[in-house]
Amino acid sequence: MNANWEERILLLLLIFFFMFISIYRPNYHDHMSNVEIISENRDSIIIKENDTTKKISKVCTHMGCLLNLDRQNKKLICPCHNSEFGLTGNVLVGPARENLEVQTLSEKFQNYQNRKKLDW
C-alpha cells in the first residue's frame, strides 16, 4: 500500500512540474535570421528586423543589471543572474519573466541610417 501512495505522490509532483514549466517558461522560439544589429551603446541596441528599426533596452527586467550583447549567438545575456533575451527583446531563459523594453524608431531615423550606410 505504501508503494501505491508513493507512486501517486510522484505522479502528482511530475504533473505539477510539467504544468509549471508550460505556464511559466517563456517561449524559446526566436527567429533571429532576419535581425541585423545596427548599433550598440551602454544601455540599448538598435536592430533592424525586416523593414522596421527598433531600439531594444539592455537593462534586464529581472534586477536591472546591464546586459551583454552576444553577437555570435544573437542574444543579450545578463551577467548577474544569467537571464537571456533574444535580439527582439523577448525572454529566452529566466529568471527574468518580462520582455525587454522595445521602441520602434521613426521613419526619419530609418532613412538617416540608410543614408549613413550608403555614405560609408
Task: Kindly list the domain boundaries of the chain, sorted by start residue.
Answer: 35-119
> CA 76, CA 79: separation in Å to the nearest integer?
10
- CATH code for the part of the protein at 35-119: 2.102.10.10
- Strands (E) across 32-100 are located at 35-40, 44-49, 52-57, 68-70, 75-77, 84-86, 91-93
Q: What is the pLDDT of residues 35-89, one digit of tens each?
A: 888 889 999 999 988 888 899 999 999 999 999 999 888 899 999 999 999 988 9
Cα 85 to chain centroid, rounded: 2
Of 83, 53, 88, 54, which Cα lies nearest the Cα of 68? 83
Residues ≥6 apart with Cβ < 8 Å to 18: none
Does the pLDDT at position 93 exceed 70?
yes
pTM for the model stands at 0.65
What's the pLDDT score for residue 8? 85
Does the pLDDT at position 17 exceed 50?
yes
